[in-house]
Every structure is written in C-alpha cells, then in structure tokens.
A and B are shown apart, each in its own frame.
Chain A
Amino acid sequence: MIKRFKSAIAAVAVSLAMLSQLAVAAEEQFFPLIDYRVGPYGSNGQAFYGGFIDYLNYVNLKEKGVNGVLMTYEECETEYNNAKGVECYERLKGKAAKSAGPLHTMSTGISYALVDKSAQDKLPLAMMGYGRTDAVDGSVFPYAFPLVTTYQMQASAIVKFIKDKSGGSLAGKKIVYLYHDSAYGKEAIVALNAEAGLNKFEMVQIPVAHPGNEQGAQWLRIRQEKPDYVIFWGWGVMNQTALKAAQKVGFPRDRMIGSWWTGSEEDVVPAGEAAKGYMAATWNVAGKQVPVIADIEKVVYGAGKGNLQDTSKIGTVLYNRGVSAAVLSVEAIRKGQEKYGKGKALTGEQTRWALENLNITDARLKALGATDLLPEIKTSCANHEGSGKVKIQQWDGAKWVPVSGWIEGNKSLVHPLFQASAKQYALEKGITPRDCSKEK
C-alpha cells in the first residue's frame, strides 16, 4: 500500500515537473544572424544589426513576443567575407531547421553564395536593398526576397526625382553615372540605359576601381563632361572620396544623388563640409522622431537590454534600416502564425510563405509606430519586392533630411528586366518556374 502510494506521489511529482517545464519553455522563433561587426565595414554592420536585435528585444519586452512566441537569435561574424558567410550559414542552419526567421546577410556577395543553398534547405533569404535583384520573380526564386526595393527600381526612382527637379523633362540633359566597378555598381546600368532611352538624356558611365580611395582622374573627367547631375553608386571609402573630390573640382553636391549605400552618416561625416547638400536615396528614414525608434530607446535601453554600446547610433540611417528589416521580419512571423497557428514558431518553409504574402499597409505601419519609417509593402509570388519605393534625403551638415515623398521606380520598365533575367537563370539551372496563379 505504502509502495503504491509512493509510486503515485512520484508520478504526480514527475507530471507536475513536466507541466511546469512546459509552462516555462515558451515557443521561440529563431533568427540566424549572419552578420558583421568587425572588419572593413564593421561600423555599418554594428548599426544595422544593433537595430535589428533591438527590435526583436523590443517585441519580447513590449508584447512578450508574437502571440507568446519569443524572438531569439544567434549571431555569426562574417567580416563581410563571402567564405565566412557560407561557413556561418552552415553553422546556423542546423539550429534553423526547427524554426527560422528570414536570413539577413547585408552583403550582396554572401547573398549570391546562399541563393541556391538556402532554397535547398528551405530557409528564406531576405535581401533588403542588396543581393540578387531578379529574385523579384518569385516563380523562379521561391526562397529569395529582395524586399522593399531593388537597385534597378532605385535608379529609376532617382531618374524620376531628377526629372521632376528639371521641370518634367530630361531631354538633352547629361547625367554621369559614377559607380563602384563591381557587380553592385553595374546592377543599375541596365535600368539607367532603359531610362536614358525613354527620357532621351545622355548617360556617361564612369567606373571607379575598388576600393575607390583615389578618384582624381574620374572627377577631372566629370569636370570636362559638365553633366547636369551625377548619379553615384559608391561603397565604403569610395563615398567620402567622391564627395571630397567633387568639392575639389567644384561640382555642386546638391546635384549628386547617391544610392542607399552612399547615404548613411558613416558615408558623409568623414567628408566633413564637403558633404553638405549632397543627396541620396533611402528606403528608410533616419531620426528618432519615428515613434518606434524613440520607444525602443525607452523600453529596451531603459531595461538595460540594448544591443549597442554606442547609443549615439540610435536613429541613424543604418540603425533605422536594421529596425525596418526587423519590423518586416516580425510582421512576416505574425502573418505566418495567422495561417499556421498562433503561438507557434514557424519553420523556414512557413516563413517563406509569410514573406510571400506580406501586406503591410500605412495603417499597420502606424499601429507599429513605424509611420514613414519604410514604405507600404505588398508581396506576392510574382513580386518578391513588394514596394519599389524610395525617398530622397539630403545631408544638411548635421543630419539627413527627407526632401521627397516616396517615389516609385518605373515598374513597367524595370520589372520585365527582372523577369527576363530570372527566366535565363531558370534555363541555366534547369528550374521549372512555379505557376504563380496557383499560389495562395
């Protein structure tokens, strides 16, 4: 009798212990962060991933995760090196097999290296403002998402901005395209050529060899060409060098418009006075006036859980870009839970579906405190970009100030270029594209 009583007590104790454990171990949504905080572009990564992680912590602190599912992450340092990026992916993919948010590498090179692998492993790869742009065509690239906007749509939007500034016509104008002589720099050429044909302006292409810390010859040529505008596609030290060189030859900075990788504080502060008046495209605004940014500082840093040691980066372009990327990622988790069950962590495959069915309206952005932080996004199987809009911002010597509303690139001109490129890729790889009309 006593023996049976003891067994019953033991069984109850074990059951209680298991129950309590279940109660404690909430579901966790894992984000594999293939990031970089040291090396040549370490300071860019610090701000971006700092913002990303701060938002994940913000969701955990503010609303105890998404429907009770806590956001977790593990970082792996790539130093912006492609080989290390692949190594990090291999290291984290095992852990991501159970649950996975989108991968964010903030590197075109690493993204290219992971496009095929991530599709095989069914892990969604987000490439927000970088990476393989023809992945806009989700019928060929189901697991790759060049979200928000692409280089080509950005270039088209910049041309539209210049056109508006020039009184609605670019006919007879001359635009120099000064670019980093790499795959990144060359991405926009196809769109700019198409725009030049359509708008009848002359485009002069001037490449700059990596790393771009010497541009004397290029800027003397620009001086000789006397262009109306310079569209500028730089990276790293090339950005400050270009601004200083423009000052040296007396080219007005307010007629230079850069890509979003030339438009952060890191790009202009080292150029000092030479950067004043310079403009750049962006798909996320800077500043702490965005409610969610101010609230992150209050909630996350107030609780001592902020990711950045240098809190002066909060509200910078790249910090806010990291928050924007996290907002989209967390909204994808929310969307996925609506389909696959609230309170459950999503697998990579489920997150992929969610990323393909995003619909983040202005009303939703307002509810998130992210009004104007980023444009509205609506993705589909046929359109993994979801927006194609940018703002133009201007450096006033101390901060970036938006000088335009959201400008959408010429989709009817640019998207067929993606489709043609994706079709070619499918042929080379023997991929049978999905029928997007059958996707739900």
Chain B
Amino acid sequence: MNFFLEVLIGGLLSGVMYALVALGFVMIYKASGVFNFAQGAMVYLAALSVVGCLEKGAPLWLAIILAFVIMTLFGIATEKFVLRKLVNQPPIALFMATIGLAFFIEGLAPMIFGSEPRALELGIVDEPIPWILDNWNMVISKFDLVAAGVAAVLVATLALFFQYTRVGRALRAVADDHQAALSIGIPLQHIWAIVWGVAGFVALVAGMMWGARNGVQFALTFTALKALPVLILGGFTSVPGAIVGGLIIGASEKLAEIYIPPVMQDLFGGNFGGIEGWFPYVLALLFLLVRPEGLFGERHIDRV
C-alpha cells in the first residue's frame, strides 16, 4: 500500500510538470483556435535563453527577466511576421505555420546559445524530503513540490486573467471568431501579440522547471509530446483542465508502468516494460470516444 501511494503521489507530481507545458498550448488555442506545434520548441528557447544569459555573467533573477523579454519579443515577432498574414485563414494554415515556426526555433536557438546540454541550478535540490522518508518511507521530492506550487500559482493567475480582465475576455472572443471579434473593434493583432507573449512566459516557467530537472538541451522540445494526451483529457480550452489532465496522465502512466508489465509478463512472457511512452495516448484515445471535448473543454454546437 505504501509503495502504491508512493507511485501515485510521484505520478501526480510528474503530471504537474506535464501540465506546465500543456498550459502554453491552452493559451494559444484559447486565443486563436490553433494547436501550437511550436510550444515544445518555445520551452527549449526559453530555457536556453536563461542559461545563455547566465553564461554571459547575469545573475539568475536578471537572466529570468532577460529571458522573459526575449520570449515577449519573440511573441510579438511571431504575430508580426507569421500570423498577421493568416487572419481569417483556415486553422490548418495557422497550424502549418506553427510547424514551420517549431523547426525555425529548433535551428535558431542552438545557433545563438549553443547546443551542448547544460545544467540549470535554481537552488532547489531534487532530493527526498527527509521527514517523509524517515516517517513514511516514501520518496517525495522537494523539487517536485516546488514545481506543483509554481503550477498552482500559474494556473490561478491565468484563470483570473481569462475570466476577469478585458484582455482575457477579448482573447476568448477572438478564439470564437476572428472576423466577428474584429467587427466589434477588438484589435486582433494586439491581442495575438499579448497571447503569444503570455505563452512565451508559460514556456519560460516550464522550461526552467524541466531544464532544472533534466538539464537544458534539445530534448526539452520533446516535452510537448507529454502535453498532448494531457490536452485531450483536460480540454484544449481549459486552464484548470490542463492541470487535472496532467494529474490524471501523470498518475495513470506511473501506475501502469509499475503494475501492468508484470501481469502481461505472466500472461504472455517476455518484457512489457517501458509502456509509459504510449500508455497516456491510449488512455487519451479511449477518453476521446466518451468525451471528445475533454473534461473541461467547451462543447461545440453548430446551428443547422
């Protein structure tokens, strides 16, 4: 039972890390109705910007601010040079543009900051909390708890931003219909620049947490793969959905990795480990059959 709880809690905390990346997707999707293929690359760019500034001698706080400036400028440039021409185009055109953007970032970022993997020290040690280990014989990492706290603050801030600010409401209007939003005087270009800037900020937070955990390297772009099933479960338009989806995916994949392979091995022989690579996708697909819009996604109803 103790081991089960340990795996479950470890999975939930891993899920929070997935949710951090998924949040960036939600931001863009809410504002433009487009799945941003470049979100993983943005996480990489943001983390590289931080370590790049640190290597130039900037203290951590300044490196984070500079990286935020870089990500904001990047967001504005994306709106101006990539998206502006695509207003009122079908979502697939915007989606294709984000694929191009992903390759562009993946090539450009290492050219500027170098491609060798580097450490990012945030001053939080990824070690078990001694008190829990001694009393409960369970490994709960300090770093994972901090990441969970960061994600909670981020979600609360973004939820408030979308619900209660003028910009937030404008964002939702733009997501519903570009043309209708324009017709009532919402400055689409301005809104897109803001949302890409905020998505850049979310990528910065995710990049710092993942970079501190596994090192800053190209593989940060792969974190997007973990966010996909999270989005399917939580819904593409829901900020809290990203968190709940992350928790479900994190916990279920860890439990599956531990408990399914031995059963399969007994039944069929051979080695069935390493299933957490595909298990979240199967879970998400099954979920799609039951609730296509996700747990918290908006149900799409068309008049006929």
Residue of B nearest to A270 (CB): B215
State whether A207 and B214 are in contact (beta carbons under 8 Å apart), knowing that A237-B222, A244-B126, A250-B139 are contacts in the complex.
no
Question: Are B275 and A209 neighbours in the complex by a CB distance under 8 Å?
Answer: yes
Question: Are A247 and B126 neighbours in the complex by a CB distance under 8 Å?
Answer: yes
A53 and B14 alpha carbons, distance in the complex (Å)? 43
State whether A237 and B271 are in contact (beta carbons under 8 Å apart), knowing that A216-B254, A274-B126 are contacts in the complex.
no
CB-contact partner of B128 in A236, A249, A270, A271, under 8 A? A249
User: SS class of chain B's interface: helix, strand, loop or mixed?
Assistant: helix
Which of the four size classes fits the interface of chain A?
35 or more
Find residues 248-290 in chain A having any chain B CB closer than 8 Å to their own CB. Answer: 248-250, 266-267, 269-272, 274
A53 and B83 alpha carbons, distance in the complex (Å)? 43
- Chain A CB within 8 A of B72 CB: no
- Chain A CB within 8 A of B75 CB: no
- Chain A CB within 8 A of B10 CB: yes
Question: Are B217 and A270 neighbours in the complex by a CB distance under 8 Å?
Answer: yes
Residue of B nearest to A208 (CB): B274
Residues of A within 8 A of B222 (CB): 211, 213, 237
Which one of B113-121, B166-174, B228-236 is at the A interface?
B113-121
Residues of B within 8 A of A15 (CB): none
- Chain B CB within 8 A of A19 CB: no
Question: Are A236 and B271 neighbours in the complex by a CB distance under 8 Å?
Answer: no
Residue of A nearest to B3 (CB): A224
Rounded to whole Å, the gap between the CB of B269 and the closest CB of chain A is 13
Most buried by A among B10, B133, B216: B10
A240 and B278 alpha carbons, distance in the complex (Å)? 22
Residues of B within 8 A of A221 (CB): 258
Residue of B nearest to A47 (CB): B116
Which one of A37-45, A68-76, A87-95, A320-328 is at the B interface?
A37-45
A372 and B118 alpha carbons, distance in the complex (Å)? 29
Query: Can you name 20 A-B residue pairings with CB atoms under 8 Å?
Result: A38-B115, A42-B110, A46-B116, A181-B274, A209-B274, A211-B219, A214-B14, A217-B10, A220-B6, A220-B254, A223-B139, A248-B126, A250-B127, A250-B133, A266-B116, A269-B119, A270-B118, A270-B214, A271-B215, A274-B126
Which residues of B does A touch, CB under 8 Å?
3, 6-7, 10-11, 13-14, 107, 110, 114-119, 121, 126-128, 133, 139, 141, 143, 210, 213-219, 222-223, 226, 253-254, 257-258, 271, 273-278
Which residues of A does B touch, CB under 8 Å?
38-43, 46, 181, 205-211, 213-214, 216-218, 220-221, 223-224, 236-237, 240-241, 244, 247-250, 266-267, 269-272, 274, 310
